[in-house]
Amino acid sequence: MATTGFFNHRPHHLLFSSIILFVLPCIAYSIAEPEALLKLKESFKNVEALNSWTPDTTPCARNTQWAGLICANGIVTGLRLGGMGLAGEIDTKALAEIKGLRTMSFVNNNFSGPMPEFNTLGPVKGLYLSGNQFTGEISSNFFVNMESLRKLWLSDNKFTGNIPPSLATIPNLLELHLEDNGFSGSIPVINQSTLVSLNMSNNKLEGEVPASMLKFKASSFAGNAGLCGGNLGKECAKPEPPPVTSTTPNDTKNNGGNGSNSKGNGGSSKVVVRGVSSFGSGAGCSHRPVFREVEAERG
Ligand SMILES: *[C@@H]1O[C@H](CO)[C@@H](O)[C@H](O)[C@H]1NC(C)=O
Ligand SMILES: *[C@@H]1O[C@H](CO)[C@@H](O)[C@H](O)[C@H]1NC(C)=O
Ligand SMILES: *[C@@H]1O[C@H](CO)[C@@H](O)[C@H](O)[C@H]1NC(C)=O
Ligand SMILES: *[C@@H]1O[C@H](CO)[C@@H](O)[C@H](O)[C@H]1NC(C)=O
Ligand SMILES: *[C@@H]1O[C@H](CO)[C@@H](O)[C@H](O)[C@H]1NC(C)=O
């Protein structure tokens, strides 16, 4: 009653409404976050370690902060859920609601299933999934939009298929650890100048280690029976010489020039059969059963 002048006083009025404008989004924001975390917890099994995650408390509260959270200015910026005996799957839709999230560690738990869709979240800087039971292939373009990623640890899981070439598109990648999985095929060139720590050992990789990746230690590539080159102590088989073209017929000196094999000397009578070699084993290798046609080169 005594303050009747308050709303008539223009400067105060302006100040008051601008405070409301700034505060409202923050309130809506902090309401969504606890719900998202509880939804995430629901996707986990064996959650005893997360007993502090309850609806009647606040995640980043000073004295009762929930286990495994990294908070900054009252919002969650990181999850540190390593070695908590957790299992099940990781609900990335719930994670996407935690807008301040930048680093996530789920290491040394029993999480399973295919690679969760971390590429649908906001800017993720650190992703640590080592020491779980993740399976299957990671799609080749998985990382194209993960431009903020700096540290990626997928080691000691059961991932299969090719190493996704889109890893090469992450501009500031610092650490890449893929060791102790079932990755196969050849190594894509992943040689960002920022990369300081790389490990691909103990997989099923084959072919030559790309020359631009030889700055890494031999132990980064060890334990892949099919890999060769560089410092691995195993030379790559010389590639088959390209077919002799008619423009440089100067390697025939033992023939005395124009030999008698006038039907062309490059082809011999080799028959190359490709295909059917890569029937994936297990559920992860779902797409594209590879049935390439038989190619035959006639001599
Ligand atoms: C994963 O689960 C198995 C049994 O299901 C258990 O023996 C093992 O200790 C668990 N590992 C971790 C890291 O919790
Ligand atoms: C990475 O490799 C590509 C192709 O081999 C090469 O052109 C490029 O200069 C290399 N970059 C670095 C940083 O080594
Ligand atoms: C790569 O990982 C293997 C297996 O975990 C380890 O023995 C090796 O020391 C690691 N090398 C590097 C360079 O990290
Ligand atoms: C074939 O000819 C090229 C030039 O045309 C020459 O550089 C090369 O040494 C020759 N090879 C042999 C085996 O004579
Ligand atoms: C090979 O034979 C052709 C004609 O059949 C002749 O034109 C050519 O000069 C010969 N080349 C050599 C290297 O003897």
In the predicted model, is pLDDT for residue 148 greater than 90?
Answer: yes
Minimum mean pLDDT among 27-41, 102-116, 181-195, 202-216: which range?
A: 27-41
What is the dihedral sign for C-alpha 14, 20, 22, 23?
A: positive
* Cα 166 to averaged position of ligand 2 atoms, centre (Å): 15
Task: Indicate the DSSP class of residue 265.
Answer: S
Q: Is 88 helix (H, G, I), strand (E, B) or coil?
A: strand
pTM of the entire predicted model: 0.68
Burial of 100 (0-12, 13-18, 19+ CB in 10 A): middle
The reply to whether 27 falls in a domain is yes
Residues 160 and 154: their CA atoms lie apart, in Å, by: 12
Report the separation in Å between the CA atom of 86 and the middle of ligand 1, taken as the mean of its atom positions.
9
Q: Is the pLDDT of residue 239 over 80?
A: no
Question: If you take atom 7 of ligand 5, which residue's CA is the nearest one?
Answer: 258
Nearest Cα residue to atom 4 of ligand 5: 258
Of the pLDDT bands very low, low, confident and very high (cuts 50, 70, 90), residue 270 is very low
Give the ligand at the shortest distance from the Cα of 254: 4
pLDDT at position 122: 85
> Ligand 2: which atom is nearest the Cα of residue 193?
13
pLDDT, tens only, 166-203? 999 999 999 999 999 999 999 999 999 999 999 999 99
Q: Residue 268's pLDDT band (boundaries 50, 70, 90)?
A: very low
Is 120 part of a structural domain of the chain?
yes
- Indicate whether 224 pLDDT > 50: yes
Residue closest via CA to ligand 1's atom 3 equals: 110
Model confidence band, residue 235 (pLDDT cutoffs 50, 70, 90): confident
| Ligand 5 atom 1, closest CA | 258
Residues 105/83, Cβ–Cβ less than 8 Å: no
Contact yes or no for 112/283 (Cβ under 8 A): no
> Which of 219, 224, 231 for a ligand 3 pocket mutation test, highest count of atoms within 8 Å of Cβ?
219
Q: What values do phi and psi take at 37, rounded to 5?
A: -65, -40
Exposure pattern of 39-64 as b/e (b: 16+ CB <10 Å)?
ebbebbeebebbeebeeeeebbeeee
Weakest-pLDDT range from 184-188, 253-257, 281-285: 281-285
Residue 77's SS3 state is strand
For residue 212, give the ligand nearest its CA: 2
- Asked if residue 280 has pLDDT above 60, the reply is no
Residue type, 251: D
168 CB-near residues (< 8 Å, 6+ apart): 188, 189, 190, 191, 192
48-105: per-residue pLDDT in tens?
999 999 999 999 998 899 999 999 999 999 999 999 999 999 999 999 999 999 999 9
- The model's confidence at residue 248, banded by pLDDT at 50, 70 and 90, is low
pLDDT at 6 over 70: no
**Token digits for 13?**
């009025």
| Ligand 2 close to Cβ of residue 3 (< 6 A) | no
- 235 in any annotated domain: no
Decide if 109 is inside a domain: yes
Surface-to-core class of residue 251, CB atoms within 10 Å of its CB (0-12 exposed, 13-18 middle, 19+ buried): exposed
Q: Which residue has the tokens 């610092």?
A: 174
Count: domains in the chain: 1
In contact, 175 and 192? CB cutoff 8 Å: no
- Ligand 3 pocket (Cβ < 6 Å) reads 179-180, 199, 201-202, 217, 219-220
Structure tokens at 160: 């299969």
**Strand 44-45 relative to strand 204-208: parallel, antiparallel, unpaired?**
unpaired
Dihedral pair phi/psi, residue 208, rounded to 5°: -90, 135
254: pLDDT strictly greater than 80? no
Is residue 53 included in any domain, yes or no?
Answer: yes
State which residues form the domain around 190: 19-228
Q: What's the CATH code of the domain at 52?
A: 3.80.10.10
* Ligand 4 atom 13 nearest Cα: 251
Nearest to 147 by CA among 128, 129, 166: 166
Report the pocket of ligand 5 as residue ranges, CB < 6 Å. 257-258
Instruction: Decide if 81 contacts 106 (C-beta within 8 A).
Output: yes
Q: Work out the pLDDT band at 246, boundaries 50, 70, 90.
A: low
Q: Is 254 in the pocket of ligand 2 (CB under 6 A)?
A: no
Spacing, Cα 259 to ligand 5 middle (Å):
10
Establish if 253 belongs to a structural domain.
no
CA separation for the pair 135, 158 (Å, rounded): 5
Q: Does pLDDT of 229 surpass 60?
A: yes
What ligand is nearest to the CA atom of residue 252?
Answer: 4
Q: In terms of Cα–Cα distance, which of 299, 212, 289 is closest to 262?
A: 299
Q: Over 90: is that where the pLDDT of 14 sits? A: no
Kindly give the distance from the C-alpha atom of residue 96 to the centroid of ligand 1, in angstroms, as a whole number: 28
pLDDT over 60 at 22, yes or no = no
Identify whether 197 is part of a domain: yes
Q: What is the mean pLDDT of residues 140-161?
A: 97
Is 243 part of a structural domain of the chain? Answer: no
Beta bridge partners of 136: 159
pLDDT band at 31 (very low <50, low <70, confident <90, very high): very low
Q: What percent of the chain has pLDDT over 90?
A: 63
The answer to whether 46 touches 85, Cβ cutoff 8 Å, is: yes
Answer for the pair 211, 190: CB distance below 8 angstroms, yes or no.
no
Span 216-244, mean pLDDT?
84
